[in-house]
Amino acid sequence: MRVAIFSDIHGNLVSLEAVLADLERAGIEQMVCLGDVAATGPQPHEVLVRLRGLKIPIVQGNTDEWLLQPEPFVEASDFYQKIYEMDMWAVGQLTAADRAFLQIFEPTVEIPLDGANILLCFHGTPRSNTEILRATTPDEEIAPMVAGQAAMILAGGHTHQPMVRRYEDKLILNPGSVGLPYLVVGDVVRNPPWAEYAILHSEDGNFGVELRRVRVDVTAVQAAILASGMPHGEWLASEWGN
């Protein structure tokens, strides 16, 4: 069985289409999305329409939940003020069908694999869509995050950073971000010209993970941003680099 796992599309249909085109060539039997699909990007409605047509399980990320009940950000920096205004614009782009779709996203999703293995999908951690689980998170902090979970394979998003790590007898993975795979170099944040996702291979009780990068047309992403009419579009477009 081959399962495609992707996350954090953030309203970027150009990058989502790049991933879906790559999946057509990969012989995928199942897809699952780990949430944060619409906020902060130029095509929130269009991404939701595309996902709705895929008929796949989707986890409710923190920004998916926020779009249904938007509140002012706690952070008061100029950066987060921009993000807040962009996300409030996204709220205004959603139709009634979009909001109904966001409401059926699930806190966690379980996918049976070959043998007795189960893939447990979430956004931040199994208990919270805002909690952060990184490659560097100490084991003692992970313990309460995954307490009571029988699944041998766990997949989460939220950090936008690809990861595969072992915790006790479990394998934890993060596919990275489809729509905002940002890099932080010193004080500079930029989005590189690719989308990220993962493929889980499972057969006869054996499994493995492949982290993938797909080239994205940065010019098309920038054009979508500038044509959208979203606030701070020129700033967001400038964050994308070749």
Q: pLDDT tens, 170-220?
A: 999 999 999 999 987 776 779 999 999 999 998 887 889 999 999 999 999
Please give the pLDDT value at position 210.
Answer: 96
Report, as ranges of residue numbers, the positions in the chain whose pLDDT lies below 50. none
Residues of the chain with pLDDT > 90: what percent? 85
The residue among 14, 51, 17 whose CA lies nearest residue 36 is 51
Beta-sheet strands, E only, within the chain: 2-6, 30-33, 109-112, 118-121, 153-155, 163-167, 170-174, 183-185, 188-190, 194-203, 206-215
Query: What CATH superfamily classification does 2-238 receive?
Result: Metallo-dependent phosphatases (3.60.21.10)
Report the SS3 class of residue 64. Answer: helix
Domain boundaries, the chain: 2-238
Please give the pLDDT value at position 76.
Answer: 74
Tokens standing for residue 115: 């043998």
